[in-house]
Amino acid sequence: MVADHLAVMFAEAVARFGAEPAVRIQDGDGWRQLTYAELAERVRSLAARLIDRGLDAGDRVAIFAANRPEWTLVDLACASAGLVSVPLYATSTAEQVRYIVADSGCRMAFVDGSRELGIVERVRDEVPALEAVITFADVPDADTLDAELAAAPADTSAVDARLAAASGDDLATLVYTSGTTGEPKGVMLSHRGFTHQVDALNRFFTLGPGDVSLCFLPLSHALERAWTYMVLANGCLNTYVPDPRTVADQLVLAKPSLLVSVPRLYEKVFNTAKEKVAGSPLKQRILSWSLAVGTAYHRELVSGRHPSRLLTVKLKLADSLVLKAVRDAIGGPKNVLACGGAPLRQEIEEFFFGCGLLVLQGYGLTEASPLVTFPPPRDFRFGTVGKVMPGGELALGEDGEVLYRGPNLMLGYWNRPDETAASIVDGWLHTGDVGRLDGGYLQITDRIKDLIVTSNGKNVAPAPIEGLLASDPLFEYSLLLGDNRPYLTLLVAPSLPHLDEIGTQLQLSWARREELLAHPEVLAEIWRRLSTLTEKLPRHEQIRDLRLLPDGFTLENGLLTPTLKVKRKEVEARFAQLVDEMYAKVGKPRE
């Protein structure tokens, strides 16, 4: 059984894997790396320094930085000193930093460098509880992490005293929900909530030294955070990616055997493969044949049978033609390849399976630390998010709402007892997601708050339709509208390279992209594609008008969450004028 406190769990890993590499980050043409023993030494020194500074058990410490080994160092030091880490997304604005640091009452903050330090300093007067700000980088006139480690007391027995008084039920972290709507809430997650998940996953996976994971999703998000604990509990090497835009290069460079991602990465690989054969019927047939061979071969393996000699020969040919190139694009073979944060289309699951890569799609939310369901590797079912994790229970409530309870459930929302009581009723977390259960397998169909009810009384789940549109890479992001409206409309943030490609194919000329977005021939092509994708939908799910958005949805403009989900209410509010235009033509929608 895994220890029920993160600091103890890490100490046990150090005892087993002390000489193994634990964390690394690219440094020029090489890597900057620490072994488990080296990381543990720094963790203990920093924990002792934090206690020496006068921080009491339960005090909060903010971490405002991109993914890097120092992030985990501070996190584990907080756990060892009985402190509560409060992560902030690296993309956070000054107002978001002010709100979270003030709401949580952080006494200290660790920040990446001069940019993050400047943001904190701008709001410093509004967060009086904040006593010190420490930078990871060497910033002039700033207190640095290296200086803190150098100032650590030689006697670190205070750390042992803190751990002796600790419990798995202690608060480990406050993770503020980025959310697609509303003000962020501090989700209180316990040590046992995380360690229980490690214990549960270790029943299904055998990880260890030699395995490499790529840490590129924000550590501020519960998914990457929980997976990092899994990686470090098992003696694996965590490779940190500060800039997620470099993930394609990092996949090839690091060649991770373990990868947890959101759907966007898998969608890009899938769309790239499709685009490469789009102009050639012969290449399309080769791709289809290779995938069919790969699927047949790997179905045999999963069923416990030996593939025939003929099928094995065919696989070698399919591998050389197509399949190996796809595996190489994602960094080679994988011991674990997982997906979470948002639904992944079944055709993409099947595509990767045919290439010899089993994508295990799970389901969770911050309030469950975050794991609720996942598919055991030998018992997966595409189109679902697997079965409830060991030790947990799953049920469907009113209107098909997914309910969950288990040892990884949050302790509640920080300083929000009423909202906690509304979210957890009789021990069951009301997830806000709509789902179906079939033989224990869960399928998520939509968010309750996202369900559209038209003025004609028709219920429409937007996620499946938006997922359908995403099968065409032109529709990079789309948002379906129509709640309390007479018909459905669409806002589209198109893929700009694909938009330019359409303009070139149509032999158009344009000085500014806005001209292209408004060109009748471009709009006609977009409507043609939309009509083809949605032609089989019932009449009340047909889209009657749309608008193209030139600037797209990004983290920087605040229209995406850190896990690349569209902030629905924010988008609708920002483009309210365009939305109103579409509905000003009541009775005159595009047919």
Please write down the HEC assignment for all residues of 542-575: CEEEEEECCCCCCCCCCCECCCCCECHHHHHHHC
% of the chain residues with pLDDT over 90: 76
Answer yes or no: do 19 and 41 share one domain. yes
Answer yes or no: do 406 and 476 share one domain. no
Q: What is the predicted pLDDT for the residue at 194?
A: 98
Answer yes or no: do 455 and 442 share one domain. no
- Contact predicate 352/341, CB 8 Å: no
How many CB atoms are located within 10 Å of the residue 395 CB?
Answer: 12
Would residue 361 count as lying in a domain? no
CATH of residue 576's domain is 3.30.300.30
Answer yes or no: do 106 and 119 share one domain. yes
**Run of H or E including 312:** helix 309-318
Q: Which pLDDT tens digit goes with each residue over 325-376?
A: 999 999 999 999 999 988 888 999 999 999 999 999 999 999 999 999 999 8
- Contact predicate 353/330, CB 8 Å: no
Answer yes or no: do 444 and 564 share one domain. no
Q: What is the predicted pLDDT for the residue at 101?
A: 97
More confident residue, 275 or 349: 349
Q: Which pLDDT tens digit goes with each residue over 439-459?
A: 999 999 888 888 888 877 788
Tokens for 260, please give them. Answer: 């947890």
Q: What is the predicted pLDDT for the residue at 484?
A: 83
Q: How confident is the model at residue 182 (pLDDT cuts 50, 70, 90)?
A: low
Would residue 193 count as lying in a domain? yes
Checking if the pLDDT of 564 tops 80, the result is: no
% of the chain residues with pLDDT over 70: 98
Would residue 274 count as lying in a domain? no
Q: What is the predicted pLDDT for the residue at 591?
A: 44
Q: Which pLDDT tens digit goes with each residue over 96-132?
A: 999 999 999 999 999 999 999 999 999 999 999 999 9
Domain end among 399, 416, 448: 448
Domain end among 261, 285, 315: 261
Would residue 342 count as lying in a domain? no
Q: What is the predicted pLDDT for the residue at 589?
A: 46
Residues 432-438: what's their mean pLDDT? 93
Considering the entire predicted model, what is its pTM? 0.86
Answer yes or no: do 491 and 420 share one domain. no
Residue with tokens 């996942």: 374
Would residue 488 count as lying in a domain? yes
Q: What is the predicted pLDDT for the residue at 278?
A: 81
Q: Which pLDDT tens digit goes with each residue over 290-334?
A: 999 999 999 999 999 999 999 999 999 999 999 999 999 999 999
More confident residue, 511 or 529: 529
The mean pLDDT value of the chain amounts to 93
Would residue 31 count as lying in a domain? yes
Checking if the pLDDT of 163 tops 90, the result is: yes
Would residue 20 count as lying in a domain? yes
Environment class of residue 59 by beta-carbon count within 10 Å: exposed (0-12), middle (13-18) or buried (19+)? buried
Question: How many domains does the chain divide into?
Answer: 3
Checking if the pLDDT of 196 tops 90, the result is: yes
Task: State the Cα–Cα distance between residues 539 and 543, nearest whole angstrom.
Answer: 9
Peptide bond into 370 cis (omega under 30): yes
Checking if the pLDDT of 500 tops 70, the result is: yes
Checking if the pLDDT of 590 tops 70, the result is: no
Domain end among 229, 261, 293: 261
Measured between its terminal Cα atoms, the distance across the chain in Å is 61
Answer yes or no: do 567 and 479 share one domain. yes
Q: How confident is the model at residue 398 (pLDDT cuts 50, 70, 90)?
A: confident
DSSP assignment string, 210-226: T-EEEE-S-TTSHHHHH
Tokens for 15, please give them. Answer: 């005892």
Residues 135-144: what's their mean pLDDT? 96
Report residue 184: phi and psi, to 5°.
-65, 145
CATH of residue 219's domain is 3.40.50.12780
Answer yes or no: do 247 and 221 share one domain. yes
Answer yes or no: do 539 and 408 share one domain. no
Answer yes or no: do 17 and 165 share one domain. yes
What angle (nearest 5°) sits at the alpha carbon of residue 389, between those of residues 386 and 391?
Answer: 155
Cβ-count burial 314-336 (b if 16+ within 10 Å, e if not) = bbeebbeebbbebbebbbeebbb
Q: How confident is the model at residue 178 (pLDDT cuts 50, 70, 90)?
A: low
Answer yes or no: do 49 and 193 share one domain. yes
Q: How confident is the model at residue 91 (pLDDT cuts 50, 70, 90)?
A: confident
Task: State the Cα–Cα distance between residues 26 and 298, nearest whole angstrom.
Answer: 35
Q: What is the predicted pLDDT for the residue at 376?
A: 87
Q: How confident is the model at residue 585 (pLDDT cuts 50, 70, 90)?
A: low
Answer yes or no: do 562 and 424 share one domain. no
DSSP state of 487: S
What is the three-class DSSP state of 447? strand
- Per DSSP bridges, beta strands 360-361 and 336-339 are parallel
Q: How confident is the model at residue 2 (pLDDT cuts 50, 70, 90)?
A: very low
Would residue 353 count as lying in a domain? no
Q: Which pLDDT tens digit goes with each residue over 472-487?
A: 989 999 999 998 888 9
Q: What is the predicted pLDDT for the residue at 180?
A: 44
| Domain range enclosing 550 | 451-583
